[in-house]
Chains A and B, each alone.
Chain A
């Protein structure tokens, strides 16, 4: 039992030593590094898969060791928690010490001031009493005690720069607070992304299923999201001649709180760098792209229009890929319907540039849209139970021969093609979509508050020096008074010298006149 206690005590002591904290700080830095050098799942899971595939056993080993999820890994959390404990262990005794020191008087004057790092002396005709009184005046603003010494001497112990310790403690406690607030934010926050058509498309934060992707914190189950709705009325982008974007603007309207009941919409110009903040959530404009509009006229004369977003594959020219899918009209029999579904896939260029038959995009604005499409007919596999991407067709259906290519053609805006069964497909142009991100982080304000405190504490603790000065005036046999001044910087020595020189000059020089 006592052995266990001793072990615990030693562990605690070891853990809370400054050296341990320093080592843990290093480990934290070292542990964070792989996250900058290796692809991370949280940022780009495709890249991680690629990396693992490219590196064989090495990639799998790294994966097993959580090197692709560094910041959620067991070992990173362990360092984090240990550092945290070590910090608490460092801070508690220090705070206690601080309170004791604050009430204590400045320490006794050392017997031999000549041994101090800073020292000066002189003699004078003034009495010790007068010397000390003069010194007390000069040391205004310092914490001082005056003491009598045997043999008729008098001394002053003075101390200054106590605020340094205050700043230091504020810095460290705020760091602690920051770590806690950050961790809580990760637990209770969420983040979701969704694509909305920019012609009045709507999104409501009423459930996880409304999102394209949703990343909840550990403590979020998605049942109690903050209620609000957003409607995207219009989107406008401007570009420089070289295709670099100059501005993005989404004209949106939103409703939250009481507005939801009254049906009131409030306008907001959503831009990059200026998110909508409502109902405790933030809505960001993340990106945009194009939706090609196709009108299909079936042999029986019925028409359908398709407006599915395609996704940019070139972020500079916004050349996009995707798949727009159609069910034939008036075919109640599922079996029958599955034989005659249609899919239009291929490349969309907002500003067409043809090299021979090859289509590419020359510019990100929709100046002259064109598509290079393959048309497939057959069973898209939408009822197969396998999930499928909205951006592509299920290649397995093509391989199995259930889906066949029936046409391939380039179409400019307004052009059309006719399939063998008389179906006509017309490319009507494009429409903008925007991708929005919704973020919720209940503690981010706390993180900010603690960061500001970190800065303030740091500034105070680095700019204020803690230092001591002692003055001793003692009578000599010849009737003159010997004045000695000694100084000690309690913290880093850099820079105390000049102040001490000025101080000792004042403390000593004045005497000769009297």
Chain B
């Protein structure tokens, strides 16, 4: 299986461009978050705009009544546009790598991380159409930029065919399902962390959106990703039965997958148990998120197990 070097190079370029553009988008988002007024003040200002009186009672004729979008909002919208562009470039990068190697483009940790972060960005873009949380884009994009930067430098692997153990259609199913669901889970993870900050009662976090919005965002995306993650694990087990001689053997990555599965299941239960809703549930969800990242990095890079296909080391 020869590798098409030209396509592989284009793939690398589009990847780098996507990282740069996400970075810009994150900056714009963060500017919006910094300049935007807290949610309450914004509503009030809207309500009194017709009268021309500001929330604090001062009369400002020309300024407030202007129906034009605020500068902060314009920055945020530019952020969204850039994030969409970045996602398109990143998709192109994955497709090109797939074409260059003539296999599914998620055979090592670099490629797998790219798919995961792409899933997170797309989830974010979709959800921010339903929920009024656009200003949080920066908090989602920053970890994504960091992950992608690490992926593109430390974990980078040249385009190449995969070893015999990975030559199976289960690579297509298992790894794509697992990484898409892990990517989706990044969003509720961030939302739950922000929820914890928002409800911590510190004034500094007052600008964050409504706690209930964050809670619903976290719940909705977990409810979507959890069954997907379960399917991914089961596909892994089916593959393991064919590749490693047993469907479950407590390999480190299997173990941590099991543990994070239990943690996410506990989150869903906690939301239905009196006394566990709200902050406890958000803690559990954040823990699940932390475990997902731990599984990706620690288990791949530090321990050795059957899953050591990451292409690093």
A residues apposed to B, CB below 8 Å: 18-19, 21-22, 25-26, 28-29, 32-33, 35-37, 40, 42-43, 70-71, 182, 191, 240, 242, 244-248, 271-275, 282, 284, 286, 437, 439, 441, 444, 447-448, 451-452, 454-455, 458-459, 462-463, 491-492, 494-495
Contact = CB atoms under 8 A, between A and B. Distances in A.
A271 B230 contact: no
A21 B268 CA distance: 13
A28 B260 CA distance: 11
A273 B165 contact: yes
A18 to B, nearest CB: 5
Contact of B245 (A18, A19, A282, A491): A282
A502 B1 CA distance: 57
Contacts of A21: 269
B238 interface: yes
B139 interface: no
B245 A36 contact: no
Contacts of B251: 43
Nearest to B243: A273
B262 A26 contact: yes
A492 B271 contact: yes
Contact of A244 (B163, B226, B249, B305): B163
Nearest to A238: B164
B160 interface: yes
A448 B259 CA distance: 20
Interface stretch (B43-51, B77-85, B215-223): B215-223
Contacts of A444: 241, 247
Interface string B138-160: 00000000000000000000001
Interface string B261-282: 0110110111111011000000
Contacts of B170: 273
Contacts of B305: 43
B197 interface: no
A260 to B, nearest CB: 24
Max chain B Cβ within 10 angstroms of own Cβ: one of A36, A244, A247, A444: A36
B164 A247 contact: yes
Name B's interface SS: helix
15 contacts: A32-B262, A33-B256, A33-B259, A36-B255, A42-B250, A43-B249, A43-B251, A70-B250, A244-B163, A437-B245, A441-B246, A448-B247, A452-B234, A462-B223, A463-B223
Given A244-B163, A448-B238, A36 B246 contact: no
A195 B100 CA distance: 38
Given A25-B269, A495-B220, A35 B255 contact: yes
Q: Which 4 A-B pairs have the closest CB atoms?
A: A36-B255, A29-B262, A36-B252, A272-B164
Nearest to A441: B246
Nearest to A491: B272
A455 B234 contact: yes
Contacts of B242: 273-275
Interface string B161-173: 1011101101000
Interface in B228-250: 230-231, 234, 237-238, 241-250
A36 B164 contact: no
Interface residues of B, number: 52
A18 B161 contact: no
A308 B58 CA distance: 95
Contacts of B61: none
A51 B237 CA distance: 29
A42 B246 CA distance: 13
Nearest to B259: A29
A26 B273 CA distance: 15
B303 interface: yes
B287 to A, nearest CB: 9
A40 B305 CA distance: 11
A273 B164 contact: yes
B262 A25 contact: yes
B133 interface: no
Contacts of B168: 273
A439 B241 CA distance: 10
Given A29-B262, A36-B253, A40-B250, 18 more contacts: A19-B273, A21-B269, A35-B252, A36-B299, A36-B303, A43-B305, A246-B164, A273-B168, A273-B242, A284-B244, A448-B247, A451-B237, A455-B230, A458-B226, A458-B230, A462-B226, A492-B219, A494-B216
A461 to B, nearest CB: 9
A33 B227 CA distance: 22
A26 B287 CA distance: 11
B171 to A, nearest CB: 9
B243 A191 contact: no
Contacts of B234: 451-452, 454-455
A286 B303 CA distance: 21
Max chain A Cβ within 10 angstroms of own Cβ: one of B164, B168, B259, B269: B164
A452 B234 CA distance: 8
A439 B255 contact: no
B35 interface: no
B24 to A, nearest CB: 33
Contact of B163 (A245, A271, A274): A245
Given A26-B262, A37-B303, A191 B245 contact: yes
Contacts of B164: 245-248, 271-273
A494 B245 contact: no
Contacts of B266: 22, 25-26, 29
Given A26-B266, A246-B163, A272-B165, A492 B230 contact: no
A462 B246 CA distance: 30
Contact of B269 (A18, A37, A272, A274): A18
Contacts of A28: 262
A36 B165 contact: no
A152 B263 CA distance: 53
B270 A22 contact: yes
Nearest to A284: B245
A89 B151 CA distance: 47
B191 to A, nearest CB: 13
Contacts of B259: 29, 32-33, 36
B13 interface: no
Contacts of B297: none
B59 interface: no
Contacts of A272: 164-165, 167, 243
B255 A33 contact: yes
Contacts of B255: 32-33, 35-36
B237 A439 contact: no
A444 B238 CA distance: 10
B226 A29 contact: no
Nearest to B288: A29
Contacts of B230: 454-455, 458
